[in-house]
Chain A
Amino acid sequence: DTEVTQTPKHLVMGMTNKKSLKCEQHMGHRAMYWYKQKAKKPPELMFVYSYEKLSINESVPSRFSPECPNSSLLNLHLHALQPEDSALYLCASSEQNDEKLFFGSGTQLSVL
Chain B
Amino acid sequence: GENVEQHPSTLSVQEGDSAVIKCTYSDSASNYFPWYKQELGKGPQLIIDIRSNVGEKKDQRIAVTLNKTAKHFSLHITETQPEDSAVYFCAASSTNAGGTSYGKLTFGQGTILTVHP
Contact = CB atoms under 8 A, between A and B. Distances in A.
Interface of A: 4, 6, 31, 33, 40-43, 45, 48, 50, 55-56, 90, 92, 94, 97-106
Contacts of A100: 34, 46, 49, 103
Interface string B88-103: 0101010100011111
Nearest to A4: B43
Contacts of B110: 40-42
Given A41-B109, A99-B32, A48 B43 contact: no
Given A33-B103, A94-B103, A105 B89 contact: no
B101 A99 contact: yes
Contacts of B32: 99
A61 B108 CA distance: 24
Nearest to A98: B101
Nearest to A48: B102
Nearest to B32: A99
B16 interface: no
Contact of A103 (B41, B43, B49): B43
Interface in B70-95: 89, 91, 93, 95
Nearest to B94: A99
Given A40-B110, A41-B109, A43-B107, A97 B101 contact: yes
A43 B107 CA distance: 7
26 contacts: A4-B43, A6-B43, A31-B103, A40-B110, A41-B109, A43-B89, A43-B107, A48-B102, A55-B102, A56-B104, A90-B43, A97-B99, A98-B101, A98-B103, A99-B49, A99-B95, A99-B103, A100-B46, A101-B34, A101-B44, A102-B46, A103-B43, A103-B45, A104-B43, A105-B41, A105-B43
Given A43-B89, A48-B102, 7 more contacts: A42-B89, A56-B104, A92-B43, A99-B34, A102-B46, A103-B45, A105-B43
Given A40-B110, A90-B43, A90-B44, A101 B103 contact: yes
Contacts of B95: 99
